[in-house]
Structure 1
Amino acid sequence: MKNEKRGSSGFVYFIKPEGRDWVKIGWTTNAKQRLIDLQCGSPEALSLLLVIPGSLALESSILSCLHSSDGRGEWRAYSEELKVLINTLAQFPDRAEEIVALAHAFYAQSIKRRAIIGRDRLRGIGYPVQDAPFPYAYEAADMLIATVLPVSSHGDAA
């Protein structure tokens, strides 16, 4: 499989075992054969949820934007977040890179929002929270958002 990845065009696939809430996200040059290969080692029937044209970099980007989901390696929890991503990619496979970049930005905004909520909750129970570590979380989230979302001349995300 590793030799197949170098310099080849291929596909990003999403495979789900029936009756399980896990999805394998991977890259291959032959999705049907990959499903057959994985089925040999799986006690559950596997379903191919989606196959889209894409690079190994796209597969890595999808996996990294879902890193908050429970999972191991290329397996991720079949969360609402993942269902939305799969459905969106199915509708617009030719815009996969853009969709995944937006998913990264959404995740970064979520981190920033959670940092603010966490800080406020800690303060609410009387825990002495300094603002010092939180601006770094905000800056990191803002930098990630800025790298994937176009910014208008007014500084607002387009």
Structure 2
Amino acid sequence: MKFTVALLCAVLLQHIGPCCSFAQTPYASSGQQDADYVASDAVRVDRVQWWYQANNNSNAATAEITVSNQTDKQIKRIDFNVVATDSSGLVLESEGFAIKKLVVTDTMAPHSRKTFNFDQAFVNRNVADLDVNNAIVEYDNGSIEILTKKR
């Protein structure tokens, strides 16, 4: 699993591009930057697929992120475990690699950018575009911004 995480990080660094103007947008909670998280650069991708499926334990879930790039046809998938929430929100973790927020932008409609903060509302699946038990959020021709937990 550590190799998979390292591979994802390498892919993210490989595809960083200057075309994403929101790359350094910090995670904000109630207007304040979350000191425990830092924004990585946005990655230009051709498809972002976000899966969320609740487990029997209400504080546990599984998630996977699929990132593909049409140029080199690379497709990478990372599975994450969801850590129980607290006042700071939900954190996806995989061998120490954590994601706090996903920002997905449709390049054909840049003003329709959608942000998914992993907060209690998300845990309860009360967010638009999500089904009650399972969720698939998929965008073609978009970009993804990943905020990682500071070590």
TM-score (norm 1): 0.27
Larger RCO (CA under 8 A, 6+ residues apart): 2
TM-score (norm 2): 0.27
| Structure (1/2) with the larger strand percentage | 2
